[in-house]
Amino acid sequence: MENMLHLAPTSRVPLDCFVLPRDQLPPAMSPAVVSLPVIDMRRGRDEVRRAVLDAGKEFGFFQASPRINKQVVGHGVPEQVLRDMEAVCEEFFLLPAPDKAEFYSEDKAKRNRLFSGATYETGGDKYWRDCLRLACPFPVVASDTTKGDWPDKPQRLREVVEKFIVLARRVGMELLRLLCEAMGLQPDIFVGDISGGDVIININRYPPCPSPRTMLGLPPHCDRNLITLLLPGAVHGLDVAYKGDWIKVEPVPNAIVVNFGQQLEVVSNGMLKSIEHRATTNSVKARTSVATFIMPTPDCLIGPAEEFVGEDNPPYYRTVKFRDFVRTYNVVKLGSGLNLTTNLRNVQKEISSK
Ligand SMILES: O=C(O)CCC(=O)C(=O)O
């Protein structure tokens, strides 16, 4: 518990271990400003599905928000639900240390826990992030005993998080349906085990960092699940890889950042991309973000769907159980180039040769 960054005065944190080796430090920001596409889901269905598909092919990311300002999407999560979620996450991290101590665990197998750093193996490199990770079986049942070890403080945390999860998952599933329609597929190919695992949320806290130029909040990584919905918060900190450089994501009020996971890349046989992203830090303001991961069930076999395979289009990915994929793809190889996205194919070779 003493290594939780949001609790320790910076003067007490041994900083050297957070400084990333120079060759692993990400390249400087490009001066060119590129924005993530922002899609208004309240427009005509045809227009929306085309926009979602285009964004998926080019960026693997886009923003969905409820206000039209040339940008956003009517994603359907009421503003009050977003406000409650932000507030309750803030309140959690502001609780006195003893109220959080029982949730702290370094055991990565634990479903619900509070911890510091990255969940990937990072070869000893440390990252400037604390995280409350909660797993919610789907469908959500209010009395579910597996949520018994969720924090009971702040008092309204369970209720607020559950409500948010239900609505965020609905947005994710609707986007998947739109993608299917845009690709001319049955609208329900992402319904079932492929999206039926736990919904996991990471409530990330990045406290002010003493050396943002040499430390990262999270290493460059691709999400291993199907699709992710991120509340990025009002403070900058999310970067997305794009054409060998990084796009700094400009938070749009009330927007949800949507990020295609690796299983979407696999199922679509590479048509849709799962793109690397990272969290940077700043020295002034704490940042909180909430990532909601729609997950396959552990035993779900996932490979390119037959609709994406043909004579001119052989399967580029192996079909493996999701649990085997996650076990193998847990190492972040910093410094091996910006575009780790497609090392997915090599990783899969490792899986199938085991
Ligand atoms: O905090 C962010 O903006 C990114 C979070 C993220 O990538 C994660 O939780 O896996």
Candidates 289, 329, 341: which one to mutate for ligand 1, based on the most atoms within 8 Å of Cβ? 289
Q: Which atom of ligand 1 is nearest to the CA of 277?
A: 7
Residue 105 belongs to domain spanning: 20-352
CA of 276 to the centre of ligand 1 (A): 11
CA 327 – CA 329 distance, rounded (Å): 6
User: Does some domain include residue 243?
Assistant: yes
Q: Which atom of ligand 1 is nearest to the CA of 233?
A: 3
User: Does some domain include residue 275?
Assistant: yes
User: Does some domain include residue 79?
Assistant: yes
288: three-class secondary structure by DSSP: strand
Q: Which atom of ligand 1 is nearest to the CA of 289?
A: 1
CA 251 – CA 232 distance, rounded (Å): 7
H-helix or E-strand spanning residue 160: helix 157-182
Q: Tokens 């080019």 map to which residue?
A: 58
CA of 313 to the centre of ligand 1 (A): 33
User: Does some domain include residue 3?
Assistant: no
Q: Which atom of ligand 1 is nearest to the CA of 249?
A: 3
CA 90 – CA 187 distance, rounded (Å): 37
Q: pLDDT tens, position by position, for the chain (354 residues)?
A: 777 888 876 666 777 778 877 655 655 554 455 677 888 777 778 888 888 888 888 887 888 755 433 333 467 788 899 999 999 999 999 999 999 999 999 998 899 999 998 877 777 778 999 999 999 998 877 666 667 789 999 999 999 999 999 999 999 998 999 899 988 889 899 999 999 999 999 999 999 999 898 899 998 888 999 999 999 999 999 988 887 778 888 888 888 999 999 999 999 998 888 888 889 999 999 999 999 999 999 999 999 999 999 998 898 888 999 998 888 777 665 433 333 444 555 555 555 554
Domain CATH code at residue 106: 2.60.120.330
Q: What is the CB < 6 Å shell around ligand 1? A: 202, 204, 218, 230, 232, 237-238, 277, 279, 289, 291
Q: Tokens 């932000």 map to which residue?
A: 86
Candidates 36, 61, 199, 204: which one to mutate for ligand 1, based on the most atoms within 8 Å of Cβ? 204
User: Does some domain include residue 104?
Assistant: yes
User: Does some domain include residue 232?
Assistant: yes
Q: Which atom of ligand 1 is nearest to the CA of 206?
A: 1
Token pair of 271, please? 């048509």
CA of 114 to the centre of ligand 1 (A): 15
- pLDDT tens-digit series, residues 51-86: 888 888 888 788 875 543 333 346 778 889 999 999
Token pair of 122, please? 């990072």
Q: Which atom of ligand 1 is nearest to the CA of 291?
A: 9
**CB distance 113 to 103 below 8 Å:** yes
Number of domains forming the structure of the chain: 1
Token pair of 311, please? 């004579």
Candidates 199, 200, 230: which one to mutate for ligand 1, based on the most atoms within 8 Å of Cβ? 230
Q: What is the pLDDT of residue 347?
A: 52
CA 219 – CA 278 distance, rounded (Å): 5
CA of 278 to the centre of ligand 1 (A): 7
User: Quick one: which of 339, 120, 113 has its CA closest to 219?
Assistant: 120
CA of 293 to the centre of ligand 1 (A): 10
Whose alpha carbon is nearest atom 1 of ligand 1? 289
CA of 236 to the centre of ligand 1 (A): 12
Q: Burial, 15: exposed, middle or buried (Cβ in 10 Å; 0-12, 13-18, 19+)?
A: middle
- pLDDT tens-digit series, residues 182-217: 888 898 999 999 999 999 999 999 999 998 988 999
Sign of CA pseudo-dihedral 334, 54, 195, 80? positive
User: Does some domain include residue 28?
Assistant: yes
**CB distance 26 to 240 below 8 Å:** no
CA of 289 to the centre of ligand 1 (A): 7
CA of 184 to the centre of ligand 1 (A): 31
Q: Which atom of ligand 1 is nearest to the CA of 202?
A: 9
